[in-house]
Structure 1
C-alpha cells in the first residue's frame, strides 16, 4: 500500500508540472486521465495528500520541548558545535532570517516552490483541481461525495496549519492579516491579497463542516490512508478549540466516539513495540504525512519536559530511548525513513473535550476524561481529584503536551496559550560561553516571516514584523 502511495505521489508530482488543468483536460497527451470517482480518489492521494514529507518539520526547534545544549550528557560534542546544530541554529534561536537561510549561511528558499509555504499551496492546488472536477466524473453520488469530502477536509487542514504559522493566533487577533486564500486551481496573473485570520478560519470551518455532512452518511473506512469521518471530527474539534468555541469543540469530540473511536491501553505495550503511531494502534483514525522531527536521533528533549512524565508512564517507556554512549534519552516514538509518521487519533478528541469542558465549567466531565486517559497511559494509576478550574486546565494541557510530544502540536498550542516566554540555551562550540536566547511573551516571532522569494513572487504579500526584526543576540 505504501509503495502504491509513493508511486501515485510521484506521478501526480510530474503531472502537476504541466498544470492540473492540462492534466484534467480530455485531450491531454498523458496516458493517465482521471475519469471515474475512483481515479480522482487515487489522484488526490498524490496531488492533495501529504505522503512521506512534512514541510513544517522545523517547528519543533522553536518550542520548549527540545534542548541543543547537552550539559547532562557524557559527550556533549555529539551536539555542541556539530553541523546539525549549526544548520538549525536560526530556528532554535528565533532569528529573523530563518525563512531565507540556514545556520551555515546557505540559501534555503531561493526558489519559492521549495519553501514550506509553497509546498502547502501546491497540495491545496491539487485539492482544488479535484474539487472542480469530481462532480463531472463517472461514479455513484456516494463515491463522489467521499472524494469531495476528503479534498475539502485535507485542504482545510493545510489552511489551518498555514494560518498558525504565518498569522496571529485566532484568539489574539482574528482581524489581522494572514495568508492568501485560493480555492480554484487556475493560474492567477494578478497578485493574491492576504485574507484575515478570521477569514481563513471561516473557510476552514466551512470546508470541514461540508466534508462531514458529505461523509457522515457513508460507511466509515479505516486504515486506508484516506481521511475518514472520525478524523474530520477530530480536526473540527481542534479548530473550535483554537477558536475558543468550547461547546462546538465538545460536540465534535463526542462524534468521534459515537463513530467508534477507541483509546488504546498503552500500559500493555512492549517497549519500542512500533504500534503507537501506526494503524496497529486502534485509536489512529488517519495516518499521513512525513516526520515532524526528522532528526530525532540528534536533538535532545528538554530535561525539564522529560521530568513531567510519571515514572510508570508508558508513553515515556515507548516514546524515548536511552543512548548508552551519552546517557541521554532521545525521542524514539516517531517512525523513520519513508514511513508515514503523523496521525489523527481519538486521544486528541478526548483531550480537546476535556479542555473545552474545563472552560465551560464542566469540571467533573473534564476530570473523568483526564483520568480515563491517564489510566490507559500510566501503569498502576490511581484517579486524581481536582476541583480547582485553573489547576485542572493546566493538568489537561500538561497531558496534551506529553501525549503529542514532537508530533507538531506544541508550537501551535503555545501560540493559543498566550505566546509565553521561552528560553533556549546554545553553545556555539565546546569551551565557548553558553548563551541564553529569549523568545519574549507575545514575541513577533510567534508569527513566522514569509520567505523573501515568496514575497517577490506575490507583491501583495506583506512581510510579517518578525521578518523585519534585528538579529536576536544571546546573553
Structure 2
C-alpha cells in the first residue's frame, strides 16, 4: 500500500533536536501548501501514519517466543555463527550496549534520527502539525473531526509504544520516568525532559477518548488504511488493560462489537487460510498499518516451549508457521517486503475483555470469550469449563500469546505480567559452547536503553539503568 504525500511536509524537528515544522510557511517543490481538509488528510497519511516500517522490531529478539539457536541434524547449514545470528546477539541477550552497536561490532543509531525513538517522534510531529492547523482548513466539520480523530489516535499509539519501550511498566512504577511529551508543532529552543510514565499514559488516554468522541458519531469506514472507530476502541481497551483498569478495558472492548466487530471461523475460511491472513480479506481486521514486527522470518525458529502450547488442530499453527530444512519449523506469519503488516483486529478486543473480566471476577463471561475464540481457531474444538480464576487467567493469556505471536505484543505483555525471568540459549559458532543468557525477574533490561547519540543531542534525556554496567555473560 503506497500513500500519496505532500512532498515538503517531512518534518525536520525531532524531539530534543534543534528545529520544528514551519508547516504553513514553507512550500513544496510544486508550491503546494495544505489548505483543504483533504490536503491535511493526505499530510497525515504521508507524515503521521507509520509507513511500511517497524522501528521497534528489536523486541522480536527479546521475548520468549523466539529461539536464535538451532542445531540441525540433517545436513543443513546451522544458524550458529551466521552474520544474522551474530548481528542480533546484543538484543537477543539483553546487553546494555544494544542501542549503540550490533553483535558484529558495527555502530547503530549513530545518527540520532535513525533511532526508533526519533522515528516515532517524527511521526508524532506529523500528527501535531495536522492537529495544530486542520481546524483552519477548508472543509466540512465532519471531515475535520475525522482527520483530528485519526491524528489523535495515531499519536496515542506512538506514545504507547514509546513509553513501553523506554519507561518502566505502568503497573510496576507509574511514577518512573517515561518519555518527553511534545503535543504541538511549535518551535522551541529548550530541551524537553522525560515525563513520568503516569503522565504519558494520561495523555494517551485523553487523546484516545477525544478521538472516539470526534469519530464515533461519523460513519464507520473500513479497509481504507485509516484508523477507524473500532480500532480506536481496541487500542483504548489495550491501554486500560496495561493500566489494570479492568472495567474500562472491558467497556471499550464491548464498543468494538457494538460497532460491528466480528470473530470469524478461521477453521473454514479458505480465502484467508490459503496464505498470510492478516489482511483486509479477514473481517476481523479493522486497521492495517506499519511494517513487519517479525524480522528474519526465514532464519529464526519459534521457541520449542511456546510451539508446544498449540493444539495440533490449531489453524494458526498451520498458517502461521512453515516447515523447511527437512522438518525445521519457522515462523512465517507476517507479510514480507514493503507491504503494511500490522493489524488491529476484533480478536484482541475479545481477549482484552476476557482478561479484564477474569480480573473483575466475571469468570463465566471470560470463559465464554475464551471458548469462542478457540472454537473459531481450532478444528473440532470442544468447549472447556474452568472455574479457577488463576487457571482461567493463564488460559486467556496463553491464548493471547498464540493469537498475537510475533506482532510486537509479547515483550510488552511480559512487562505488565510482572517482568518474569526468561532465558535464551546462544552459540557463537558451530562447535563452541552453548551458553544460557537470563533476563532476571524485574530486570532493568525490561526497559530499553537510549542510544548514546540521543543523550548527546538532548542532555535532559537521562539514560535508563539498562544502558549502564558491563556486558551480560552467558553461563
TM-score class, shorter: over 0.9
**Residue pair 2:355, 2:397 contacting (<8 A) in 1 also:** yes
- Asked whether 1:284 is paired with 2:285, we answer yes
Partner of residue 345, structure 1: 345
Q: Per-residue displacement from partner, 1:177-222 (whole Å, max 9, x unpaired)? A: 1111111112321111110000000000000000000000000000
SS at match of 1:24: coil
- Asked whether 1:370 is paired with 2:370, we answer yes
Unaligned runs of 5+ in 1: none
SS at match of 2:248: helix
SS at match of 1:35: coil
SS at match of 2:255: helix
**Residue pair 1:70, 1:76 contacting (<8 A) in 2 also:** no
Alpha carbons of structure 1 residues 48 and 392: separation in structure 2 relative to 1, 3 Å: same
Distance in 2 (CA, whole Å) between partners of 1:55 and 1:77 is 30
RMSD: 1.8
Alignment of 1:244-393 (within 5 A): 244-270=244-270, 273-274=274-275, 276-323=277-324, 325-393=325-393
**Residue pair 1:75, 1:326 contacting (<8 A) in 2 also:** no
Cα deviation, residue 26, structure 1: 7.2
Alpha carbons of structure 1 residues 414 and 37: separation in structure 2 relative to 1, 3 Å: same
Distance in 1 (CA, whole Å) between partners of 2:211 and 2:368 is 30
Normalised to the residue count of structure 1, the TM-score between the two structures is 0.96
Alignment of 1:19-418 (within 5 A): 21-25=21-25, 30-71=30-71, 74-75=74-75, 77-270=77-270, 273-274=274-275, 276-323=277-324, 325-418=325-418
Cα deviation, residue 275, structure 1: 5.2
**Residue pair 2:176, 2:197 contacting (<8 A) in 1 also:** yes
Distance in 1 (CA, whole Å) between partners of 2:102 and 2:383 is 47
Alpha carbons of structure 1 residues 25 and 310: separation in structure 2 relative to 1, 3 Å: same
SS at match of 1:157: helix
Alpha carbons of structure 1 residues 132 and 94: separation in structure 2 relative to 1, 3 Å: same
Q: Mean Cα displacement is larger for which, 252-261 or 288-297?
A: 288-297
Cα deviation, residue 30, structure 1: 4.7
Q: Mean Cα displacement is larger for which, 415-424 or 267-276?
A: 267-276
**Residue pair 1:13, 1:47 contacting (<8 A) in 2 also:** yes
SS at match of 1:77: coil
- Asked whether 1:443 is paired with 2:443, we answer yes
Alpha carbons of structure 1 residues 60 and 116: separation in structure 2 relative to 1, 3 Å: same
Distance in 2 (CA, whole Å) between partners of 1:335 and 1:28 is 33
Distance in 1 (CA, whole Å) between partners of 2:301 and 2:42 is 39
Q: Mean Cα displacement is larger for which, 215-224 or 188-197?
A: 188-197
Unaligned runs of 5+ in 2: none
Distance in 2 (CA, whole Å) between partners of 1:78 and 1:14 is 44
Distance in 1 (CA, whole Å) between partners of 2:443 and 2:26 is 51
Q: Per-residue displacement from partner, 1:20-58 (whole Å, max 9, x unpaired)? A: 743423767652211111111111011000010010011
Distance in 2 (CA, whole Å) between partners of 1:9 and 1:313 is 45
**Residue pair 2:37, 2:139 contacting (<8 A) in 1 also:** yes
Normalised to the residue count of structure 2, the TM-score between the two structures is 0.96
Q: Per-residue displacement from partner, 1:225-261 (whole Å, max 9, x unpaired)? A: 0000000000000000000000000000000000000
**Residue pair 2:192, 2:460 contacting (<8 A) in 1 also:** yes
Q: Mean Cα displacement is larger for which, 336-345 or 183-192?
A: 183-192
Alpha carbons of structure 1 residues 28 and 267: separation in structure 2 relative to 1, 3 Å: closer
**Residue pair 2:109, 2:115 contacting (<8 A) in 1 also:** yes
- Number of aligned pairs? 471
Q: Per-residue displacement from partner, 1:104-134 (whole Å, max 9, x unpaired)? A: 1111111100100000000000000000000
SS at match of 1:58: helix
Distance in 2 (CA, whole Å) between partners of 1:25 and 1:10 is 14
